[in-house]
Amino acid sequence: MKNCFIYIFSVVVLFYSCGSFKAEQRTSALTFPELGSIIKKKGMLWYGTSEQVGIPLWSEPMTVNIRQLPFNPDSYNTYAKYMSSAGKINSIAYNDSLPYKPKYLRLELVDKIRLTRALNSEPNEAVLSYLANDADYKIVTRMDFTVPETVMPTFELADNVVLIQDKFNKVQLVLIANGKEELVNFNEIQIFDFEYSSFCWGEDRYHRKRIENIVSDGSKCPKGTFVKPSKVKADKSYLKF
Predicted confidence (pLDDT) per residue in 65-122, tens digit: 999 999 999 999 999 999 999 999 999 999 999 999 999 999 999 899 999 999 999 9
Q: What is the pLDDT of residue 38?
A: 93
**8 Å CB contact between 40 and 53:** yes
Query: Which of 173, 195, 191, 193 lies closest to 182, judged by CA?
Result: 173
pLDDT at 72: 96
Question: Which residues, other chains included, contact 77 with Cβ-Cβ below 8 Å and sequence gap of 6+?
Answer: none
> In the structure, how many helices (H) and strands (E) does the chain have?
5, 10
Contact status, residue 186 vs residue 55, Cβ threshold 8 Å:
no
Per the DSSP assignment, residues forming a β-bridge with 165 are 171
Q: What was the pLDDT predicted at 18?
A: 41
Give 239's DSSP letter. G
pLDDT for 31: 75
| β-pair partners for 175 | 161, 182
**Residue ranges, the chain, pLDDT below 50:** 2-29, 44-48, 235-241
Please report the pLDDT score of residue 58 as a whole number.
85
pTM: 0.80
CB atoms within 10 A of CB 76: 21
Domain residue ranges of the chain, discontinuous segments joined by +: 31-240
Q: Specify the pLDDT at position 30.
A: 54
Q: Strand, coil or helix: what is 13?
A: helix
Residue 108 is predicted with a pLDDT of 96
- The conformational region for residue 121 under phi > 0 = left, psi -120 to 50 = alpha, else beta, is beta
Q: What pLDDT, on a 0 to 100 scale, did the predictor assign at position 227? A: 94
Q: What is the pLDDT of residue 49?
A: 54
Report how far Cα 44 is from the mean position of its chain's Cα atoms. Answer: 20
233 to each of 15, 127, 162, how far by Cα in Å?
Answer: 40, 20, 36
pLDDT of residue 213: 96
